[in-house]
Amino acid sequence: MALINEHFLKLADNYLFSDIAKKVSSYKVMNPKAKVISLGIGDVTRPLPKSVCDAMHQAVNEMSDAKTFRGYGPDHGYSFLVEAIIKNEYATRGITLDANEVFVSDGAKSDTGNIGDILKRDNCVGITDPVYPVYIDTNVMAGRTGIFEDNKWSNIVYIPCTAENGFIPDLPPRRVDILYLCYPNNPTGTTLSKEELKKWVDYALKSDILILFDAAYERYIQDPEIPHSIYEIKGAKKVAIEFRSFSKTAGFTGIRCGYTIVPKELNGYSLAGKKVPLNNLWNRRQSTKFNGTSYITQRGAEAIYSSEGATQVKENIDYYMTNANILKNGLLETGIEVFGGDNAPYIWVKTPDNTPSWKFFEQLLFNTQIVGTPGVGFGPSGEGYFRFTAFGTRENTEEALCRLKKWI
Ligand SMILES: *Cc1c(COP(=O)(O)O)cnc(C)c1O
C-alpha cells in the first residue's frame, strides 16, 4: 500500500490558471461568437529570435553526425553557455562568478520549486504578498506551510505589498529563515531600487536569513538605476541564491532553459550549528535528480549573447514594453489606478470601487471579452487588484485598451 504525501491534498484544485481557463472555456461555450482577448497568463507570444533558431538548427545538424553527436552533457551546463552567462550577465555589472557557481537548468520554475529539497522542513518561510504562486505551493508540498485559513497559510510570514506602501515590502513582522523576493515583480510589475534591495541584504546578513531572489524579468528593466542582480549589492553572495530564466528574456517558455546562481560563500546550517555550503548541496541535488538541459537548447540560449542575438532579443523586449506603455497610459487616462509596467511586462490595476478581484474578472470577461488575472490569485494582498500582461500582440493590446476605455 503506497501512502501518499498528504500535503498535496491541501492543494487540490488550487491552481490559479486552470480555474481561469475553466471559466473562460465555459464562457466561450455559451458565447461561441465572442472574440476573447487574453491578457491573462504570463506567456510570451513573439517567436524565437532568428539567431536562436539558427544556432539550434546548427546543433541539430551536429547531433545527426556521429563525429559531433553529443549524449549526456555536463550536469550543470556546457561551459560555452556558463561562460557566456558569467561574461554577459554578471561581469558587465562588476560581479565575478566561478563556473561552478552557475547551474544551468530547464527553467526557473523547476529551480525555485526544487530548491526546497536542500532545506529543512522546519524553516520559517517569508514571502512578499502578492507573488508568483510557485513559491508557496512548493512549500505546501514540502509540508512547510501549516494550515490554510482566511486565504493564508498559518506558517508563512506574509509581507504585504500594496498601493499603501508603494509596493515596497517592510521587513517581516517576525523572524523568518528563508525569504523569497521576486524583482521585477510578478504580478505587480514593480521593482526595488538599490537602496531598498540593500535594506534586505543587510537584514539577511544581520539575521542569517537565506534570500531566494527570482530575477526572471530582469531584462525588462528600463531604468539604469534599478539592480538586475541581487549580487550588485555588497554582501549578497553570503545570503542569496539567484534564479534566472531565458523564458521571458528570449521567448524560451516552450524551449526551457534557465540557470541558478549558488555562490560558494553562501552557507546553511546543520541542526548542530555547523555551516554547510549550499553550493555543495545544490550540486549534489542536481547531479542526482537532473540530467542536464539539451545541447540544442543550450546552443540556442548561447546565441542570445551574439551581437545579432542581443539585438533581436532587445527588439522583442521593446515590443512588449511598448505594449506595456500603451496599456498603462491608456488605463491611466480612464482614471483607474495603475501600477507597474515601467520595468516589467505586467500592469497591476486597482479594481474600481474595491470590486473583489474575481468579480472584476467576470465583469471584464462578460462586458469586454478580455481575460486578465485576478490579483487575489497571487495572495491575500492581491485582493482588489487585477493583472494584465504586456505579452499580447500589439493588435490585441490596442483592441483590448479600446474595449476597456469604452466600458470604463
Ligand atoms: C515565468 C516566471 C518564471 C519562469 O520560469 P521558467 O520555468 O523559466 O519558464 C519564474 N519566475 C517568475 C516569477 C515567473 O513569472
- Give per-residue pLDDT as tens, 173-183: 899 999 999 99
Which stretch of DSSP H or E encloses residue 371? Answer: strand 370-371
Show the cell assigned to 377.
490569485
Distance 244 CA to ligand 1 centre (A): 8
pLDDT value at residue 13:
67
Q: Which amino acid is at 149?
A: E
The protein residue with its alpha carbon nearest to ligand 1, atom 8, reads: 107
Whole-number pLDDT of residue 41: 80
Q: Which amino acid is at 165?
A: N
246-289 pLDDT, tens digit per residue, is: 999 999 999 999 999 999 999 999 999 999 999 999 999 999 99
From 247, 297, 320, 391, the mutation candidate for ligand 1 (largest count of ligand atoms within 8 A of CB) is: 247
CA dist., res. 36 & res. 2, Å (int) = 44
| Cβ proximity of 285 and 114 under 8 Å | yes
The phi and psi torsions of 105 (rounded to 5 degrees) equal -145, -170
**Half-sphere exposure for 319 (CA within 13 Å, toward CB):** 21
For ligand 1, say whether the CB of 245 is within 6 Å of any of its atoms: yes
Cα of 247 to ligand 1 centre, how many Å?
7
Quote the CA–CA distance of 6 and 372 in Å, as a whole number.
Answer: 32
CA of 131 to the centre of ligand 1 (A): 12
The answer to whether the CB of 258 is under 6 A from ligand 1 is yes
Q: Which atom of ligand 1 is nearest to the CA of 132?
A: 13
**Residue bearing the CA closest to ligand 1, atom 2:** 216
- Of 240, 233, 235, 145, the C-alpha closest to 195 is 233
User: What's the pLDDT score for residue 11?
Assistant: 86
Residue type, 23: K
Distance CA 24, CA 32 (A): 11
All three cell numbers of 36: 476573447
SS3 66: coil
- Atom index in ligand 1 nearest the CA of residue 245 equals 8
2: left (phi over 0), alpha (psi -120 to 50) or beta: beta
For residue 107 and ligand 1, the question of a CB distance below 6 A is answered with: yes
Give this prediction's pTM. 0.97
Low-confidence ranges of the chain (pLDDT < 70): 12-14
Closest residue by Cα to atom 14, ligand 1, is: 216
For 34-49, the pLDDT digits (tens) are: 999 999 888 999 999 9
| Å from CA of 295 to ligand 1 middle | 21
Distance, in Å, from the CA atom of 139 to the CA atom of 122, rounded to the nearest integer, reads 11
Measured in Å, residue 190 CA sits from the centre of ligand 1 at 16
- Separation CA 135–CA 157 (nearest Å): 12
Q: Which of 181, 129, 172 is nearest to 380 (CA)?
A: 129
Mutate to test the pocket of ligand 1, among 128, 214, 290 (most ligand atoms within 8 A of CB): 214
Q: How far is the CA of 88 from the centre of ligand 1 (A)?
A: 20
Give the chain's radius of gyration (CA, Å): 21
Structural contact between residues 118 and 268, judged by C-beta atoms closer than 8 angstroms: yes
